Structure 1
Amino acid sequence: MTDTATPPNTPHRVVIVGAGFGGLEAANSLRNADVAVTVVDQRNHHLFQPLLYQVATSTLATSEIAWPIRHLLRKYKNIKTLLGTVESVDTAARTISTADGEVIAYDTLVLATGARHAYFGHDDWEPFAPGLKTLEDATTIRRRILTAFEKAEREPDPARRAALLTFVIIGAGPTGVEIAGTIADLARDTLKGEFRVIDPATAQVILIEGGARVLGAFAPDLSAYAQRALEKLGVQVHLGNPVMKCTADGVEYAGKFVGAATIIWAAGVQASPAAKWLDVPADRAGRVVANDDLTAPGHPDIFVIGDTATVKNGDKGTVPGIAPAAKQQGIHVAKAIRARLAGDIAPKPFRYRHAGDLATIGKRAAVTDFGWIKFKGYVAWWLWGLAHIYFLIGVRNRLAVAMSWLWISVSGTRSARLITQKDAADEDHLK
């Protein structure tokens, strides 16, 4: 039986589940505090998720956007890192339990467990239309994209070859737009002259969105520009028609079926089961409906942040599920814990500061909206690149990513075009 009482003369125990943007920021902000921090994550690396699509589309290598958690926290003697998958929370005993049976006691718990892609009740579509949330997702998508071109090169049947050269992206938010533009660049620029039977430039890239426009969270003029930029790259944009079916052979939407060997899902997310662990209210995506101080309802000793929570943003709806918001929440939680230990137990409402919206379209265009000023085109692309390089961890990674982007912009060559970890599922998918 686990003793959950805090041993005498020991620091306050803070357990952080998840080392994404929010969890890692909370841990960093508690460095050198008089607390004992335990960070638990089911993977050993922190992932810079905004650039994950660039791994999926052969622009960057996995090591350029991910870092070992232990290395990032190695200097902080009050922080311990554990590799494990949390399966439950006992709020009465103040413990969490992992898949391998370990029970970890806490005085304050921070749940930053993130989200996965959601298929709106059609989970059977996932084998045919993988989403993009992890490095494993990215390498799977990269493998399918590159293998499709290879199989098309030796496919004698014209109909099957056309399906192999058709790439469908479902969802026209930033991830969908960025993937569509990059695949179009890959087909029309990077692969030019490398095949003898097929012309990669004949590949169809289709972006399907159930809403009225691409980048629906952006200003209408930037949304319109993004669509024009995509179409200039050769992307076929289809709006107002939700997908009805995904199979191994293609996609059904707008009353028709399109043969496609590669389908990528960028249409929705589903939160981790944190709300079920705590038995608290959740929104439609499974996110905990958090109090305005980021605590879980009825549990002042538990904070929920990032994609784990939905939080009101004054009269502007809810806080967006983006990296800057998660980082701000991690800092807020750390400040709240420090204040409590100093005797200030009054709840402090979280106030989100929106820095702006950014999305790139291909390798030379982007849209940025900072509220007071907007940019589009090449200038916006430079701003987008500088912003992302700034938030990368470590000088080496910043230089490596900057050099990769510069080289691609000048030469069109992508050095990360490696087909790895081929498995039976992909072989069946592309037969």
Structure 2
Amino acid sequence: MSRMAPILPHVVIVGGGFAGLWAARALRRAPVRITLVDRGNHHLFQPLLYQVATAGLSAPDIAAPLRQILRRQHNVVVQMATVSRVHADAREIELDHADGPRRLRYDYLLLASGAGHAYFGHDEWAAHAPGLKTLDDALDLRRKLLLAFERAEAATDPDDRDAWLSFAIIGGGPTGVELAGTLAEIARHTLGGEFRNIDPARARVRLIEAGPRVLSSFPEDLSDKARLQLEKLGVEVQTGAAVDEITGEGFRRDGTFVRARTIVWAAGVSASPLGRCLDAPLDRAGRVRVRPDLSVPGHPEVFVAGDLAAIDRADGRPVPGVAPAAKQMGRHVARMIRARIRGQPGEGAPFRYRDFGNLATIGRMAAVVDLGAWRFSGMLAWWFWLVAHLFFLIGFRNRSVVLLNWSVAYWTHQRAARIILGGDDRSDTQ
């Protein structure tokens, strides 16, 4: 009689971001079969998403199909589907497919479904202040930003023209700082001489932060330098008070209503709702409070990583929601799964986050870098930021195209992806 091949443990990974993809790759030689489920078909390099939104890069420059990335890893099957629920007691997840719901059984589960936007109880603001988490967000925002200048060019009323040339970025973290600095550069350099009825350099770019300073996760001296570099670019940095109202016409802050037809939300995140399915403790942002080995209390076969996981470092500070942390979490979960397969049940080795530092770019030749013992800003920090992001891009083609586009932008101030798609949608004027 022929001997039947052993049935390998089934590992299901929800999310093809940094945590999910790095876990899958770390299991390439493990005796498992892997199903990677994601609502999209691509892995996205989120740190450069704002560059797509501001027309510096195209979508394929910072994204790659998951099937292409994993084509040589034969123990992985990729499914494009939305996970609607986790049934932890039954060891199943529920998928929403075009032909109806399905259930997928697992032996080990990694939830790495990320986070969305949080409007702090004002979800109605989302219609007027879009955020930036996905490629769809970036393409919609790019269209909105470029159309604002077109609307200003066509406006016959001076007040309407000024409103279209008024931009507000809500949130002074890295995304907000990078968006504000780049948008100011576009207005003052890229678009110069291209319009006849407006001067794009007259555009007002406001960066609004409720806290006392921008880049609050950086040391205070670097935060101060970032503010000075932003102001040098022409950004109006406003700190110390939150917005009270956002409408299609503008925003209210400190009792004053400011007309601004283009508002971008970069102020808060809310964890994926899948965490609520686990009957596990959550933090205020909806992230799952995991055990030290990243498993879920009461379900050692279920792991959570990336922006959906809440875990503290040895000094009590939370592990930040950044790409390096997500990658490290993904690799750690892979080690824990291999340990389980080897017959080491119960709680595994604790996750130890290795902090490589913080980077943020502000504009052309302007950035801040915090590497712990070394802190620097300006031109050197900008080159460091550029090299680091090129190094961590997913493939050689991506790196080559991004380097080419950045080189052109550096020498000419031009941006490669300034095409408005979708026609002249008048709903943008409402």
d(CA) in 1 for partners of 2:95, 2:5: 26
Residues 289, 421 of structure 1: CA spacing in aligned structure 2 closer, same or farther, 3 A cutoff? farther
Aligned match of 2:183? 183
Q: Distance in 2 between matches of 1:387 and 1:280?
A: 36
The answer for the alignment partner of 2:173 in structure 1 is 173
Letter in 2 for 1:146: L
Relative to the length of structure 2, the TM-score reads 0.97
Contact 1:143–1:422 under 8 Å retained in 2: no
How big is the shift at 1:8?
8.3
How far is the alpha carbon of 1:71 from its aligned partner? 0.7
1:365 maps onto 2:341 in alignment: no
Alpha-carbon RMSD? 1.2
User: Is the CA contact (8 Å cut-off) linking 2:84 and 2:274 kept in structure 1?
Assistant: no
The DSSP-based 3-state class of the residue aligned with 2:127 is: coil
Q: Match of 1:241?
A: 241
The SS at the match of 1:102 is: strand
Provide, for residues 342-377 of structure 1, a one-character-per-residue CA deviation record: whole Å limited to 9, x for no partner.
Answer: 223351100000000000011210000000101100
Once the two structures are aligned, what percentage of the paired residues are identical? 53
Give 1:406 deviation, angstroms: 1.4
Q: Please give the alpha-carbon distance, in whole angstroms, between the structure 2 residues aligned to 1:139 and 1:423.
A: 15
Verify the 8 A CA contact 1:148 1:430 in the aligned structure 2.
no
Q: Distance in 1 between matches of 2:140 and 2:289?
A: 33
Deviations 1:197-249 (A, max 9, x none): 10000000000000000000101110000000000111001001101010000
Retained in 2: the 8 A contact 1:311–1:318?
Answer: yes
Letter in 1 for 2:417: A
Q: Which of residues 51, 56, 60 in structure 2 aligns to 1:59?
A: 56
Which deviates more, 312-321 or 257-266?
312-321
Q: Give the secondary-structure state (helix, strand or coil) at the position aligned to 1:336.
A: helix
Which range moved further: 337-346 or 315-324? 337-346
Partner of 1:208: 208
Q: Distance in 2 between matches of 1:298 and 1:126?
A: 36
> How far does the alpha carbon of each residue in 1:132-174 deviate from its partner, in whole angstroms, 9 at most, with x for none?
0000100111001100101111100000000000010000000
Please tell me whether residue 73 in structure 1 is matched to residue 70 in structure 2: yes
Q: 1:10 aligns with which of 7, 11, 36?
A: 7
5+ residue gaps, structure 1, are 1-6
Question: Following the alignment from structure 2 to structure 1, what is the Cα–Cα distance between the partners of residues 357 and 102?
Answer: 41
Could you tell me the TM-score, scaled by structure 1's length?
Answer: 0.96
1:37 aligns with 2:37: no
Q: Is the 8 A contact 1:128 1:429 kept in 2?
A: no
After superposition, residues 19-418 of structure 1 pair within 5 angstroms as: 19-100=16-97, 101-345=101-345, 346-418=347-419
In the aligned structure 2, how far is the partner of 1:93 from the partner of 1:116? 27
The residue identity in structure 2 corresponding to 1:185 is E
Question: Take 2:151 and 2:326, find their aligned partners in 1: how far apart are those partners?
Answer: 41
- CA shift, 1:315, in A, is 1.4
8 A contact 1:248–1:429 mirrored in 2: no
Q: Deviations over 1:35-93 (max 9, x none)?
A: 00000000011000000000000110001001101111111111000000000111121
For residues 296-333 of structure 1, the C-alpha deviation after alignment (integer angstroms, 9 at most, x for no partner) is: 11110100000111111111411000000000000000
